[in-house]
């Protein structure tokens, strides 16, 4: 299961070429990707001549009305996007897909990830007179494409992709083609599928399953797939590629029923829990998972350690909806209403509570407190990933050291801070071991180790994140 | 955990007397009762002279804005209500608490339950010239109170309560007192608590825990509690009382961390699962619960039967929010997007899937189909309650035989309809046995047996439920 | 022409029986009555069995949407109402027509005027248990009608009308009839018309002309007209009647193209200006009217005195829309943006400026200032009605002495206050003289003389007007 | 007075440099310019470092809320805009002032007029990779400015202004200056003023008077005024200039209290009426003006001819508000509810009705019909401007021949079409004569004569006006 919390994925994308129900399938696919972004959503469709779109703020049903969806019903190709704001202010003009109306032909653009040299490129383009419509880094690609001089769109695109750095899964819709491109490190997931003969791509395989499509394969780092009426063209824009899929996709972001390389996240998380049980040596009466994202790790922990797995914590379903807010104060308040302990289950017990990560520590602290007030005799905490020490520049909404408790405190200090009897993190090696067992060829672990695989050109200072471009 | 589905509870109530944070505590309490009603919410407060209120449609954050909540901040007594419409059109004027401005003094009214002679009383009052403001049955009590001639409010209230029949937990707020009254069969739960010396009442103990109040005891059938500046007055309006708590509160409605008579629903549901395992004789590889409400029963089933418990079904958190709709077509569509099987878990397995009830059978049918398409070799279904055969007139939103598949089909016919390899319901006796083990003194089982403990005076025909009073 | 200012009419009504375009004609008629009320509007229609309605806050296009209007298209009888709040808070529940759904049959109610014993009756009804839906005095009649015991609606209505005191033009719509009733003093105007054989009634004849109906006659004081499928029934509810039409209808409220007894208000106002010229002896170069309501009086003044009439003041059309606000501060600010002098016209001139009344004096003061700053050498003011000294209890929004400058200041003091070279009011006798010339049989002049023709039972204190009943 | 009709001005602008109440003065000034545009309004302010703005659709109070206005309170420089859409779809993104956020520095842009080579420039810019944010022609200047290479803003601006053709009064706000530029023919009016030492510019002098500023002089064709902390810099961007002020500004658009070269429009319009009386030889009993814009011409006509001037037509104030709609069907319907004849005034009379122009003829036809149905014996029509035969490409919303009845019908045919006894237009020579008397140095009369003073590069075909760029 999945969750909304301190760590936020920035986006989910979906695209489909030449299917009679393109818009509706996109809507359904976006719905199953909603966990990847709740701030806004949009769909852009092609009727073969022009592109049309609908988009809005909020969850999918708020962002796109039935009437809007109906207005897109007859188009055969579409891209869609759900958004969580990492860069760019939280306002409608930043909601994707972007739709550029241009004398060269309309162009739709959807981006999952974060560019690390967008500011540099933007500044250069502005020097030459370009005027940007949004404060989003994603718009840069549109400008590069319209500036390009070659008559071949694909060669323009490959040139543009080679100029941008960072993490990206880009979908580009034009009247005569849909293009999907993944950055040369494959930081964000992108899956290829097919339904009724039509090709589609999605951030996660759960979206393919939700619409009844077949999940064919994972798109590779540096790959560029073009879909048009001649079928699919497979190519690469990057000469050098590496596998550096985001570790947190396994640990936390992806839906448990999604699969990477045909292995379900559910089983990966159970294995992370088993690995944690191997590394953590604590006697206890029960092991409980923090719902929803850590239930599988708790199950894995229980099955390896033999300690019974119980549901000792409830999650209030209505909180997430209520308090999705970038406001720190409101987030803290939300913590209190989010989890409820079940007294009968924990009273008098030595409890191991499993969570997938600790960001600021506030939630952990509250959970420990709640369990103790419900009568738990001892509370031990196991984290199914290593300590989060470094900001992510590739699309995750934790960009400052100050927000990461493990960036400036030792494990023992954190243990004291959250007032737990013992605290154990999974080791970095243990984590990579688990991923390898599921055929992963390499992961980005920069948030744990500080080893950033892609250069950070913009050197975005934390405080600058706040200075959002405000337009009228 | 709890869920939003075919069966819907009508309401949750909360009241508190003489606490400096009355409105905010009520807001937090309502938040933890949100699972009992998502269509509207309201709060009415007393400043000692007059009553003031705020209410709106939708979930709590939509229904009551921060500004409105702030405007009620200084009042020391409050009642609150979350609503799911059973009778009365779904419109703002029907959202409770009702606030009557009257020369005799303001009066606030919140009601959980359903009256069975409201139409009869309303007609009589209209004959005498009364004009009703709403199409809700709950308003009847207000008219009876204002018609009453005795100078003693309490004697008027007892007289009025003796005139109305049905299921009710009523909260009445006046400038100088808060009164809580439970019908003579105790069909709906009502819990007494205390915080910082101030008394409070809530539909479920989870609301008491959410605000940090002490859970004192369950309010008894026929009991009338009056809170004023002299403290609490305990009394009964009914000469004869019986314990007929709604069985579905245990099975489905109440939050697992809520407690009846200091026993958590979590353990009751586990026990229902164990009892089902005793009664159901099926070989299988794994047992899975339908999230969220049947996870405990599955766990109980697993612990008795020894069959491993896995999470084979995921629930899309965003669906509930999206498709709460009284429209049958939309509900069916929602079913498809609601649950996702985890292929890795069920592929090649003989699966027992545990659910708490079958209403129309559409969800069950979809779940079975989804499990089979994910590779399950066999799918058996166990239901942790008896077949739902009879409409409820006491406040649950299933009022017609036509909506209940078990009302007109045998278990074998249902098994074929939902295409499951075997289907086992818990026996009525088995269910009562479990409740007795948790000190229950008697439950309403009318929806299973047709033995209605309270007379249905209005004989509300199903088709009449649609004819809603429409005002300008 | 007409205006929006310190003095506000409370309402306009329209009703029509048995016409295929009942709702649309009502909409158009209300549009031409918009000057009588801009705070809300509504329509209630009958389909022969039930009543249906639409209403809203604001001007007609805001209050009633095209979709709502379309939904009423097929009904053959209708009443409509535009509202300016005199009593009752400014909120949707007070917008008329009221629609009562009742087991005795639906009833629609629209009221122009103000009752003077509504509080007394309301209190008595509440003592007997009645619960009011609104804070409007108009609702009282509905309760009296539903309380009545006679099987004859008409006899019930006549009894009820004899219980209420004050100024009223009431329209009552039922499934089988439309009834129009005017109070026994005929304070508010009500006109009878006919279109395509269908009878209709309207507050002013301009509404009849707007829809292309024939203007038959003025409804008489104490008259009760019933329209049903047998035609029109003419009757009186009051034994004693007097003609006491509101003087301010002539001076200010009615549209200039409306006619009373087939004489246009345009000519009445010109005659008031001529009469003022007779009574006012001032030398000047030009005479200008304050737009829009005093342009006719200025023309009459000019034609009698021979002083040329020029347009020396412009009115900003957009102000009225912007600043209709019960907030005193905003009203003062609006004054500044409301009128602009034309320099070329007034520079170096001795100017007589004609206005129809002075309420608080703020507008007059500003106008004088503006004219002087544009270069006027002298500014004299002529008012085409007597000094406003007494509050109106019959439906005009000036209910407190404190708001009326003439209530506590002499003419000379007012002259100094508004800084004008001379100030002349029309005499009370002069005013009555003019009306008599247009066949009037008597007018209410209470606001000038304090001679109230109808008893004020409620003795509504000014400060109580602020204490609005606030419901949730 | 002014009016809203078939002919629509596109915009009004206001700018002010270095005044403590810049935003509020701009709001008040825009309010007095509201007659020049009712579709949207906006304000952009500078705090010396950055620019901030607020804008919205509709009239000023809808477009800019009190809260938004308050948020701009502390800034010392501002530009504002009211808009009627001539080119560019009617949507928020087209509402001005535009605010460009750019690494070179923020830039605000407000434009009154219409460019005639905007499409050509836009296409060229898009070829080079520019991406436009709006479908408005006004945005072109922004792109030209950001493309320019010179370090001197003024030299860039002059170069850019020399590239664009058409009618424009442009205001450009930057952090360190406010620039006002008028096209080389001076088609649109622009007035210079001063308040409390701060310079300001406005489309009409009425805006200067509304805020209490001194009206200094009219900005000259081709002039560029720069305001910064050093004061005002006066310059010209164009080598050749001509005076070709729009004739319809005198006839119809400008507010009567506005002045050109210190002569009020009120007197110009009276003179147009006198000139018409000289040219029109018809016997009649009364002369009436179509309110509001033709009342002065009627007065002038009356004073020259000696025929008494009466108010025979009323205008419903609420119509304009209701039916401002680009939809032809709705406009026709609006006509019916717009004017009401006063029976008493016209019955039995030979009536001359004066209007300022005839666009499609529908309003005229209705007015004649209404006057006849109110009893007028004869109806003659005098138009205080020549026949409108040619579309305007410089900012007036009549761009197609098909919409102009005089483009394809003779005066006699129009007379028959509108069913009037005689029809007389003012001669072109007579019109120019009048203007000369008020010191005008030349006017554009293209809409009467087809002599377009500025080249129409884009050759915008009428049907293309409908094809609006639709973005998401």
Q: What is the ipTM of this complex?
A: 0.85
Buried b (16+ CB within 10 A) or exposed e, C239-273: eebbbbbbbbbbbbbbbbbbbbeebbbbbbbbbbb
Q: What is the token pair recorded at C152?
A: 């004859």
The verdict on D334 and D235 lying in the same domain is no
Which of D186, D211, D244 lies at the terminal end of a domain, its last residue?
Answer: D244
Residues of C with CB under 8 A from a CB of D: 1-2, 28, 31-32, 34-35, 59-61, 206, 209-210, 255-257, 259, 263-264, 266-267, 291-292, 295-296, 299, 310-311, 314-322, 337, 340-345
pLDDT for residue A38 = 86
Q: State the pLDDT confidence band at D467, using cuts at 50, 70 and 90.
A: very low
pLDDT (mean) for D319-342: 53
The verdict on A273 and A332 lying in the same domain is yes
pLDDT for residue B133 = 83
Total domain count for chain B?
A: 2
pLDDT (mean) for D121-149: 90
**Pairing between β-strand B422-425 and β-strand B443-444 as defined by DSSP bridges:** unpaired
Annotated binding site of A: 246, 293, 355-356, 392, 444, 447
φ, ψ of residue B349 to 5 degrees: the values are: -100, 155
The verdict on D217 and D342 lying in the same domain is no
Q: Does residue A89 lie within any of the structural domains? A: yes
Q: Which residue carries 């490190």 as its tokens?
A: A185
CB contacts, 8 Å: D98 with chain A: 472
Residues of A annotated as part of the active site: 11
Q: Which residue carries 């109980």 as its tokens?
A: B300
How many whole angstroms separate alpha carbon A327 and alpha carbon A340? 23
Q: Which of A225, A31, C72, D359 is nearest to B323 (CA)?
A: A31
The verdict on D295 and D430 lying in the same domain is yes
Kindly tell me if the per-residue pLDDT of D340 is higher than 80. Answer: yes
Q: Give tens-digit pLDDT for C94-115.
A: 889 999 988 888 999 999 999 9
The verdict on D229 and D268 lying in the same domain is no
Distance from CA of D469 to the nearest CA of A (A): 7
Q: Does residue B3 lie within any of the structural domains? A: no
How many whole angstroms separate alpha carbon A367 and alpha carbon A351? 12
Chain C neighbors (3+ CB pairs < 8 Å): B, D
pLDDT for residue D459 = 64
Element (H, E) at B22: helix B22-32
CB contacts, 8 Å: A60 with chain B: 318, 322
pLDDT for residue D117 = 94
**Pairing between β-strand B198-202 and β-strand B191-195 as defined by DSSP bridges:** antiparallel
Kindly tell me if the per-residue pLDDT of B324 is higher than 60. Answer: no
pLDDT for residue D174 = 96
D433 is in an annotated binding site: no
Residues of C with CB under 8 A from a CB of B: 42, 44, 52-55, 97-104, 122-123, 126-133, 135, 142-143, 146-148, 469-472
Collapse the DSSP code of A131 into the 3-class scheme (helix H, G, I; strand E, B; otherwise coil) and give the result: coil
**Interface present between A and B (3 or more CB pairs within 8 Å):** yes
Cβ atoms D16, D77 nearer than 8 A: yes
Q: Give tens-digit pLDDT for C274-328.
A: 999 999 999 999 999 999 889 999 999 999 999 999 999 988 877 543 323 333 4
Torsion of CA B339, B344, B345, B350, to 10 degrees: 100
D42, D142, D470 ranked by CB distance to A131: nearest: D142
The verdict on D268 and D208 lying in the same domain is no
CB contacts, 8 Å: B317 with chain A: 1-2, 35, 292, 317, 320
pLDDT for residue A339 = 84
Q: Is D129 left (phi over 0), alpha (psi -120 to 50) or beta?
A: left
Cβ atoms C405, C361 nearer than 8 A: yes
pLDDT for residue A325 = 32
pLDDT for residue A71 = 83
**Interface present between D and A (3 or more CB pairs within 8 Å):** yes
CB pair distance less than 8 Å for D344 and C317: no
CB pair distance less than 8 Å for D103 and A127: yes
Q: Does residue D327 lie within any of the structural domains? A: yes
The verdict on D171 and D130 lying in the same domain is yes
pLDDT for residue C7 = 55
Distance from CA of B322 to the nearest CA of A (A): 6
CATH number of the domain encompassing residue A383:
3.40.50.2020
Cβ atoms B340, A210 nearer than 8 A: yes
Which of A30, A206, A257 to mutate against chain B (most B CBs within 10 Å)? A257
CATH number of the domain encompassing residue C14:
3.60.20.10
Distance from CA of D262 to the nearest CA of C (A): 9
Residue-averaged pLDDT of chain A = 88
CB pair distance less than 8 Å for C131 and B147: no
Residue D351's beta-bridge partner residues?
D286, D379
Q: What angle do CA C400, C406, C407 make, to 5 degrees?
A: 45
Q: Which of A410, A398, A364 is nearest to A383 (CA)?
A: A364
Q: Give tens-digit pLDDT for C375-395.
A: 999 999 999 999 999 988 898
D44, D100, D126 ranked by CB distance to A102: nearest: D126
Cβ atoms D350, D377 nearer than 8 A: yes
pLDDT (mean) for B368-380: 94
Q: Which of A427, A303, A424, A418 is nearest to A352 (CA)?
A: A424
What share of chain C has pLDDT > 90, as a percent?
Answer: 67
The stretches in chain C having pLDDT less than 50 are 1-6, 320-333, 461-472
The verdict on D142 and D40 lying in the same domain is yes
B421 is in an annotated binding site: no
| Chain A residue with Cα closest to D123 | A103
Q: Give tens-digit pLDDT for B120-152.
A: 999 999 988 899 888 888 899 999 999 998 899
Q: What is the token pair recorded at D449?
A: 């004569």
The verdict on D314 and D187 lying in the same domain is no
D206 is in an annotated binding site: no
D293 is in an annotated binding site: yes
**Where is mean pLDDT largest: A322-331, B219-228, D451-460?**
B219-228
D2, D209, D344 ranked by CB distance to C264: nearest: D344
**Alpha-carbon distances, residue D416 vs A39, B208, D341 (angstroms):** 62, 83, 21
CB pair distance less than 8 Å for D131 and A142: yes
pLDDT (mean) for B169-188: 97
Would you say the C-alpha torsion B352, B354, B358, B361 has a positive or negative sign? negative
Residue C260's beta-bridge partner residues?
C263
Q: What angle do CA A57, A58, A62 make, to 5 degrees?
A: 90
Element (H, E) at B114: strand B107-115
pLDDT for residue A322 = 39
Q: Identify the domain containing residue B407 by its residue range.
A: 264-449
CB pair distance less than 8 Å for B102 and C126: yes
Distance from CA of A347 to the nearest CA of D (A): 52
Q: What is the token pair recorded at C179?
A: 């009834």
Cβ atoms B88, B136 nearer than 8 A: yes
Q: Is this structure's pTM higher than 0.95? A: no
Q: Give tens-digit pLDDT for D362-403.
A: 889 989 999 998 999 999 999 999 999 998 889 877 656 667
Kindly tell me if the per-residue pLDDT of B49 is higher than 60. Answer: yes
Of residues D336 and B345, the one with the higher pLDDT is: B345
CA B408 to chain centre: 25
**Where is mean pLDDT largest: A63-72, B67-76, D157-166, D449-458?**
D157-166
Q: Does residue D459 lie within any of the structural domains? A: no
The verdict on B285 and B142 lying in the same domain is no
Report H helices in D148-234.
153-163, 205-211
Q: Does residue D440 lie within any of the structural domains? A: yes
Q: Which of C133, C94, C470 is nearest to B52 (CA)?
A: C470
CB contacts, 8 Å: D318 with chain C: 31, 34-35, 59-60
Distance from CA of B344 to the nearest CA of A (A): 6
pLDDT for residue D363 = 87
| Chain B residue with Cα closest to A314 | B1
Angle between helices A265-279 and A428-437 (to 10 degrees): 140
C101, C131, C148 ranked by CB distance to B471: nearest: C101
CB contacts, 8 Å: B210 with chain A: 337, 340
**Interface present between A and C (3 or more CB pairs within 8 Å):** no
How many whole angstroms separate alpha carbon D430 and alpha carbon D278? 9
pLDDT (mean) for D27-43: 91
Kindly tell me if the per-residue pLDDT of A431 is higher than 90. Answer: yes
Q: Does residue D223 lie within any of the structural domains? A: yes
CB pair distance less than 8 Å for A42 and D472: yes
Q: Which of C94, C70, C101 is nearest to C11 (CA)?
A: C94
Q: Does residue D321 lie within any of the structural domains? A: yes
**Alpha-carbon distances, residue B388 vs A425, B168, C274, C341, D247 (angstroms):** 48, 22, 86, 80, 82
Annotated binding site of C for [4Fe-4S] cluster: 246, 392, 444, 447
**Alpha-carbon distances, residue D398 vs A284, A321, D393, D447, D469 (angstroms):** 83, 50, 8, 9, 20
Q: Does residue B252 lie within any of the structural domains? A: no
Distance from CA of A32 to the nearest CA of B (A): 7
pLDDT for residue D66 = 78
The verdict on C198 and C291 lying in the same domain is no
pLDDT for residue B362 = 85
The verdict on C75 and C165 lying in the same domain is yes
How many whole angstroms separate alpha carbon D415 and alpha carbon D449? 20
Which of B316, B325, B330, B366 to mutate against chain A (most A CBs within 10 Å)? B316
Chain A neighbors (3+ CB pairs < 8 Å): B, D
């Amino acid at each position: 299961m999945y969750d909304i919390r301190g760590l936020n994925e920035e986006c989910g994308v979906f695209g489909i070429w030449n299917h009679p129900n393109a818009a509706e399938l996109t809507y359904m696919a976006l719905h199953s990707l909603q966990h990847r972004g709740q701030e806004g959503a949009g769909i852009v469709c092609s009727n073969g001549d022009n592109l049309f779109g609908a988009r809005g703020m909020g969850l999918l049903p708020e962002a796109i009305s039935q009437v809007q969806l109906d207005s897109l019903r007859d188009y055969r190709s579409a891209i869609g996007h759900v958004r969580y704001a990492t860069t760019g202010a939280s306002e409608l003009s930043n909601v994707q897909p972007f739709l550029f109306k241009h004398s060269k032909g309309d162009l739709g653009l959807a981006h999952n990830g974060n560019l690390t040299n967008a500011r540099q490129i933007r500044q250069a383009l502005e020097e030459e007179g370009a005027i940007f419509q949004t404060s989003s880094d994603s718009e840069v690609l549109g400008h590069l494409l319209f500036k390009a001089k070659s008559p071949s769109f694909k060669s323009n695109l490959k040139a543009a992709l080679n100029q941008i750095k960072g993490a990206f899964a880009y979908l580009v819709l034009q009247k005569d083609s849909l293009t999907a491109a993944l950055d040369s490190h494959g930081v964000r997931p992108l899956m290829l599928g097919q339904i009724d003969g039509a090709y589609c791509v999605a951030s996660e395989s759960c979206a393919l399953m939700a619409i009844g499509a077949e999940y064919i394969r994972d798109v590779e780092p540096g790959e560029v797939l073009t879909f048009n009426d001649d079928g699919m063209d497979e190519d690469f824009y990057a000469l050098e590629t590496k596998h550096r899929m985001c570790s947190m996709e396994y640990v936390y972001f992806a839906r448990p029923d999604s699969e990477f390389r045909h292995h379900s996240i559910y089983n990966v998380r159970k294995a992370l829990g088993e690995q944690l049980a191997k590394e953590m040596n604590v006697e206890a009466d029960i092991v409980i998972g923090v719902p929803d994202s850590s239930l599988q790790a708790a199950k894995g922990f229980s099955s390896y350690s033999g300690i019974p797995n119980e549901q000792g914590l409830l999650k209030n379903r209505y909180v997430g909806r209520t308090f999705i807010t970038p406001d720190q104060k409101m987030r803290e308040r939300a913590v209190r209403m989010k989890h409820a302990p079940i007294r009968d289950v924990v009273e008098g017990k030595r409890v191991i509570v499993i969570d997938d990560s600790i960001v600021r520590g506030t939630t952990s602290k509250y959970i420990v407190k709640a369990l103790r007030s419900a009568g738990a005799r001892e509370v031990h905490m196991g984290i199914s990933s290593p300590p989060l020490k470094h900001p992510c520049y590739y699309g995750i909404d934790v960009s400052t050291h100050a927000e990461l408790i493990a960036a400036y405190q030792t494990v023992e200090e954190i243990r004291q801070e959250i007032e737990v009897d013992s605290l154990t993190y999974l080791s970095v090696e243990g984590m990579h071991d688990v991923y390898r067992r599921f055929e992963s060829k390499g992961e980005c672990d920069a948030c744990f180790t500080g080893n950033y695989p892609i250069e950070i050109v913009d050197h975005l200072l934390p405080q600058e994140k706040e200075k959002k471009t405000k337009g009228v």
